[in-house]
Amino acid sequence: MSKENYDVKLSVLEALPQDDVQPPKNPIDTYVQEAENLFIWVQEDEETLSSKGLDWDFYVVDLPIRTGACRYAQAVWMKERYNREEAAKIWKEESPKAYEFRNDLLADLRFAFRKRSDLLSRVRAIADGEGDADMIQDLMDISVLGKANIPELEKVKYDLRNLDIAAQKSDSLAELLAKANGTTLDNSKAKELRDRAYIHLKEAMDEIRDTGKYAFRKDPERYKGYISRYKR
């Protein structure tokens, strides 16, 4: 049901003014549960709250839809965040081995091409540079250069399978790094929509609670249902 609620609200969420969007100040799971509790609590107070100006249909009837949309948006964001964190963990494990492999390949080419100054200059050009992206490109460049000069490598009985491995690693590491880099980005589409879903839900929650606290300010038994247990 949350997915259907999210689909219903997607155009509304995307249309919210950017200045109104902010990340949650409360744990989303707690906030969503409080929204569900509030929806149950408020049912017997329709007449009282409506008499104080609360738009019942716009805020209360719509509350479960806003709640479901927020729950789903949070789930999508958490899935994306988990995938990114997992990629960062794998990158941390695999990148040192990739750097070592790249350095070994460069050493192999320097030895195989030691009598070819033209090829050695190309090896030096590949080795020039630093950083993760450069290392990934180096692997592909090494593969291409090696495959273009197989006779030189065969002279030193080089295992040509390493050239295919280098190309494969370049592709897989590029994808892995792209995912891993996402762990430091807070402006992803999934997070943006989660924040928008939260603000949309908060709008209804605030309006219902504010009206309830005012209407039942002299009735402790009803008043308590409009207070956030988390904040309290």
Domain limits, the chain: 2-82+187-226, 92-184
Taken in order 25, 27, 30, 35, the sign of the CA dihedral is positive
pLDDT over 70 for what percent of the chain? 96
Region at 164 (left for phi over 0; alpha for psi -120 to 50; beta for the rest): alpha
Distance in angstroms (rounded) separating the CA atoms of residues 224 and 221? 6
- Do residues 17 and 203 touch, judged by C-beta distance below 8 A? no
Report the pLDDT value the prediction gives residue 39, as an integer from 0 to 100. Answer: 97
| pLDDT recorded at residue 80 | 83
Task: Identify the sign of the CA torsion 91, 92, 94, 97.
Answer: positive
Tokens for 177?
A: 């790094």
Cα–Cα distance, 3 to 96 (Å, whole number): 41
How confident is the model over 97-117, as pLDDT tens digits? 999 999 999 999 999 999 999
Distance CA(76)–CA(85), nearest Å, equals: 14
pLDDT in tens, 170-181: 999 998 998 888
Please state the rounded mean pLDDT for residues 204-225: 96
pLDDT of 189 > 90? The answer is no
